[in-house]
Chain A
Amino acid sequence: MAVLNEEQEMLRDMAREWATNESPVTEFRKMRDSHPDERYLADAWSAMAGMGWAGIIVPEAYGGSDFGWMSVGLVVEELGKTLAASPLIATTLAASAIVLGGSDEQKAKWLPALASGEKVGTLAIDEGAHHAPGKIATTVSGGKLSGTKAFVHEAHGADLFVVAAADGLYVVEKGDGVALSRRELTDQRSHAQVTFDGAAAERLADGGDSLLDDVLDRARILTSCEMLGMAQQVFDVSLDYLKQRVQFNQVLATFQALQHRMADLFADLATMRSAVEAGLEALDSGFGVARAAAIAKATANDVLHRMSREGIQLHGGIGMTDEYDVGFYLKRARVLEASWGSSSQMRDRFASLSGY
């Protein structure tokens, strides 16, 4: 566990307490069964916003708390544990794009509303079923943006889209020229194909050539935080189960075959935590972000993949039931694995960044 300062510890404890008490998995279930249009519970989101979580990486001058990435990462991890459905990651990432690339005027225009949670933001980057930031066909002419984005996270609640076009990132507000078509994925969260047809767009011109990559690295690292929370939870729940389930007149936890499996998973989890925290530290220090992001996402993908499969297997038959939570983690895991870079893409990026 990273060494946290007092503020961070307080924030983490608060997030943990809130997630455990106010947003346990039963709340996710409630959302799934009532399926509100935006695929999160509005009350939960306003509670999160009320605690200032949407503005953690936003400078104070624009209504945020400027607590940094480690802080928001801790919150996201806690929320990942209980599958708390919210546009926190999406909004944070949209805000980060504006922080990195917006003019003073643009920052003043959008950041306060994002930081307060009054407006929801999201990234609209990929145009196919696979992450492929090198292939952007969306174009802008005369301030009007046109193109189709596949599988945009949290699109239904979003007021603001940070959109990748061939010549950079743009901000597009919900409204004329923006059309959503729902894509119901296995994680039961909000995903949509978003078609922009001559939508009014403002370029984020101050972020330099690497703006898209910089934002994507943030997406990779923050997504890895959610995945870490999920993996930790699957591990904890499975361990508890093994300690109470009796077969052959013994609790399952006494079987060496299972002990060794848990030991392996525990070691995996340790590497995942280090990789994710290193990503957050890199963001806060500003050094080595790209490599750290590739390491974090590749590791998070692989460990959560294994953990989510083992979670079902170790539960046996009840793991296959909708009544048990462990299946939800499996379903969300694959969606996050496929978002912002698969393991092989991340390994490829790592190799390139390392010069081979």
Chain B
Amino acid sequence: MATLAEPQDATTDDAFREEVRAFIAANFADELKGNNNALASVEGPTNETPAQKAWREAVGERGWGTPTWPREYGGGGLTRKQAKILNEELAKANAWNPIGGMGVMMFGPTLLEYGSEEQKHEHIPPICRGEIRWCQGYSEPNAGSDLANLQTFAEDKGDHYVVNGQKTWTSGGQWADKCFCLVRTDRSDKHNGISFLLIDMTSPGVEVRPIRMISGLSPFCETFFTDVKVPKKNLVGAEGQGWTIGKRLLQHERTNISGGGSMARMMGPTVSDIARKYGELDADGKLADPVLRDRIADYEIRWNTFLLTARRAAEESKASGGVSEISSVLKKLGTKLGQERAELTIEIMGLQGLGWEGEGFTEAELAGVRGWLFGKAFTIYGGSTEIQNNIIAKRVLGMLDHQ
């Protein structure tokens, strides 16, 4: 992508690797090893320990949580190669990237592409330092898959807009500082009447109500806007350009959802690890149940082909500049595999894998059950599997609408 950093650092790779190692040694406390909260992105902020805070600040200061973003906006300014080295060294040290959330995954890259200089300088650095939480104000009660049907209206009042309407399924809405929102600025044109607006969640007139999910968690909300005043400087791109910008953001969202990263974190160890732990092994150390062994191998082979495809797509899109429609293919495949992994895990664990709370289950087992249920959303949010199929058929394959 044009806006992403070009190499700025003359350090050789080896020297850079040394630099990363030294940085981790100096800043990553031993007590943090393997202690990443897998559900943090779903459950919202947990109480950050001093060690976690110190680690987040150190990484944020360097911009290494967003390693390839430009240095001038607080990113790491690293080359892809260096970012890879950084990841490798983090993994070796059993450390993790503490900077995440929708700001990093979706909003940041979109703003880097479409935002004004002023907007980038205002919004990108706090994202890079992990100081701010963004939520996504897209869906409405009658605008789900048909996102362009949204009705939340922003009325032009000269130097500001006044926003009225209701969003729904706003993940993390109750914890977010700001919301990137699609709003209607023109009622006469379905697609060109949409604008991309940034709304401060602390503005008067913003109200969030958490919704409880089947997993027992309540990480998503109904969000109501009543006469919310939003300064014009918070309009990204031109008025009426929101649909284009919004769709680009969705491509980033899809790439991230399907990347396996978030799902893998929620799901924990691999299926075969779990099977080795819960299942029976024969004298050779193989899984004793040949049918299960076959199914796990089948699953893991498909998971590997998916990861290979994701990698190939990333390389190709880098070469051609930016995310693309292939994100629909990855989203469709990756989310299904994520769900299958959870289902297979439950089956391997039997009733031990279905605990809800209380005695007789480990933390990991209980988290697995919640993750399995939460994971049913993978194929719904960010554009459902059915919508990805429509996108592939229409935009990639050139097949026509049947109506």
Contacts and interface: CB of A to CB of B under 8 A. Distances in A.
27 contacts: A129-B278, A129-B351, A130-B350, A130-B351, A131-B350, A183-B359, A186-B356, A246-B142, A247-B146, A248-B145, A249-B146, A257-B389, A257-B390, A309-B376, A312-B214, A312-B376, A313-B380, A316-B380, A317-B169, A320-B215, A322-B211, A322-B212, A330-B214, A331-B214, A334-B354, A338-B346, A338-B351
A184 B347 CA distance: 17
A339 interface: yes
Contact of A313 (B214, B358, B376): B376
B360 A317 contact: no
Q: Lowest 7 CB-CB distances: which A-B pairs, in order?
A: A327-B214, A129-B350, A129-B352, A247-B146, A130-B350, A322-B212, A184-B358
A193 B351 CA distance: 11
Given A129-B352, A182-B359, A184-B355, A316 B384 contact: yes
A285 interface: no
B126 interface: no
Interface in A308-356: 309, 312-313, 316-317, 319-323, 327-328, 330-331, 334-335, 337-339, 342, 344, 348
Contacts of A327: 213-214, 373
Contact of B351 (A320, A331, A335): A335
A185 B351 contact: yes
B142 to A, nearest CB: 7
A186 B380 contact: no
Given A150-B351, A344-B291, A321 B212 contact: yes
Contacts of B356: 184-186, 188
Given A186-B355, A317-B139, A248 B386 contact: no
- Which of B353, B354, B359, B361 is the most central at the interface, judged by chain A CB atoms within 10 Å of its CB? B354
B139 A334 contact: no
B214 A181 contact: no
Contacts of A342: 347
A183 B358 contact: yes
Nearest to B289: A344
A184 B386 CA distance: 35
Nearest to A255: B386
B292 interface: yes
Nearest to B369: A186
B379 interface: yes
- Which of B291, B346, B351 is the most central at the interface, judged by chain A CB atoms within 10 Å of its CB? B351
B377 interface: yes
A320 B213 contact: yes
Interface string A187-226: 1100101000000000000000000000000000000000
A138 B373 CA distance: 35
B168 interface: yes
Interface of B: 139, 142, 144-146, 149, 168-169, 211-216, 278, 289, 291-292, 339, 343, 346-347, 349-361, 369, 373, 376-377, 379-381, 384-386, 389-390, 402-403
Interface of A: 128-131, 150-151, 181-188, 191, 193, 246-250, 255-258, 305, 309, 312-313, 316-317, 319-323, 327-328, 330-331, 334-335, 337-339, 342, 344, 348
Contact of A317 (B168, B352, B373, B389): B168
A338 B214 contact: no
A43 B80 CA distance: 66
B351 A316 contact: no
Contacts of B214: 312, 319-322, 327-328, 330-331
B396 to A, nearest CB: 16
A323 B211 contact: yes
A317 B380 contact: yes
B354 A317 contact: no
Contacts of B211: 321-323
A211 B343 CA distance: 33
A247 B292 CA distance: 41
A255 B216 CA distance: 32
B346 A334 contact: yes
Given A183-B359, A317-B169, A322 B379 contact: no
A131 B352 CA distance: 12
A32 to B, nearest CB: 10
A177 B381 CA distance: 51
Nearest to B214: A327
A247 B389 contact: no
A185 B354 contact: yes
A338 B350 contact: yes
Given A246-B142, A320-B215, A330-B376, 14 more contacts: A129-B353, A181-B360, A183-B361, A185-B351, A186-B373, A249-B146, A250-B403, A257-B389, A316-B380, A319-B380, A320-B213, A322-B216, A338-B346, A344-B289
- Which of B347, B353, B358 is the most central at the interface, judged by chain A CB atoms within 10 Å of its CB? B347
Nearest to A130: B350
A320 B292 contact: no
Contacts of B347: 337-338, 342
B381 A317 contact: yes
Given A181-B359, A309-B376, A313-B379, A322 B213 contact: yes
Contacts of B145: 247-248, 316
B351 A339 contact: yes
- Which of B142, B149, B214 is the most central at the interface, judged by chain A CB atoms within 10 Å of its CB? B214
Given A130-B350, A330-B376, A344 B359 contact: no
A348 B355 CA distance: 27
B384 A256 contact: no
Contacts of A188: 356
Contacts of B139: 317
A186 B350 CA distance: 12
A100 B96 CA distance: 60
- Which of B139, B380, B390 is the most central at the interface, judged by chain A CB atoms within 10 Å of its CB? B380
A321 B145 CA distance: 17
- Which of A188, A248, A250 is the most central at the interface, judged by chain B CB atoms within 10 Å of its CB? A248
B360 A193 contact: yes
Nearest to A311: B376
Given A313-B384, A320-B376, A334-B346, A185 B355 contact: yes
Contacts of B349: 129
B351 A151 contact: yes
Contacts of A193: 360
Contacts of B343: 305
